[in-house]
């Protein structure tokens, strides 16, 4: 088991109403400076409660929130989903649509006392894969930029992603490529995250908790 400070234990075991800040460390009053962002990864299946959990954590931070959406309204059903998610978010949050270039956006938007939600990473991956086989090297460079920039950011970053790799091996080459890339991406994101949670029926199961 990993070593865990008392402050971290208090943070992750506290009742929801006990949260006044996203972290119990007294430095939270000054925020998390550049190079010490609090990074959380929330994984789960469809309708497992990932987005709601991310929003609840962001609200408990007490900081301004920027919602970074990776989905685009590619068809009426997706447009409806996007609108439903938008209506579920607090109206005072700022939001932006970033289908491809996350690293540059997060670097620009992150601040020591701001919470960023990225929802979701697997849609971001899908956007790159739909660009065609020739875009794969560009995606890999962008992925590497993202993995490099995240630990260098200030503030609080919550990443949401679909866990899709617990079923049968897909039949098509594109679907298999998606599963491979998603699995590799999740492993790398989990490695650099302070907290990794798996959502099951609306309940967050913490599989990693680390801080300082």
Q: Which residues are catalytic?
A: 85
Q: Are 142 and 135 in contact (CB under 8 A)?
A: no
How many Cβ atoms sit within 10 Å of the Cβ of residue 126?
A: 20
Q: What is the rounded CA–CA span in Å between residue 50 and residue 161?
A: 8
Give the start-end residues of each E strand in 7-80: 38-44, 65-69
Q: If residue 99 lies in a helix (H) or strand (E), which one and from where to where?
A: none
Instruction: List all residues 6 or more positions away from 117 whose beta carbon is below 8 Å from its beta carbon.
Output: 54, 55, 58, 65, 66, 67, 68, 158, 160
End-to-end, the C-alpha distance of the chain in Å comes to 15
Q: What is the rounded CA–CA span in Å between residue 25 and residue 85?
A: 32
């Amino acid at each position: 088991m990993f070593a865990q400070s008392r402050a971290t234990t208090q943070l992750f075991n506290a009742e929801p109403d006990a949260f006044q800040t996203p972290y119990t460390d007294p430095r939270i009053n000054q925020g998390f400076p550049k190079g010490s962002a609090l990074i959380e990864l929330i994984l789960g299946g469809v309708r497992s409660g990932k987005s709601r959990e991310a929003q609840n954590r962001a609200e408990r931070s007490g900081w301004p929130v920027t919602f970074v959406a990776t989905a685009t309204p590619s068809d009426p059903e997706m447009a409806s989903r996007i609108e439903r998610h938008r209506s579920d978010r607090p109206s005072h949050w700022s939001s932006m649509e970033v289908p491809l270039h996350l690293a540059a956006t997060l670097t620009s938007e992150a601040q020591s006392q701001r919470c960023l939600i990225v929802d979701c990473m697997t849609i971001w991956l899908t956007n790159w894969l739909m660009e065609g086989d020739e875009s794969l090297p560009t995606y890999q460079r962008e992925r590497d930029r993202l993995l490099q920039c995240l630990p260098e950011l200030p503030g609080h970053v919550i990443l949401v992603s679909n866990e899709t790799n617990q079923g049968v091996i897909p039949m098509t080459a594109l679907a298999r490529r998606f599963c491979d890339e998603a699995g590799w991406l999740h492993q790398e994101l989990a490695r650099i995250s302070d907290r990794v949670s798996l959502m099951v029926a609306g309940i967050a199961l913490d599989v990693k908790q680390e801080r300082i």
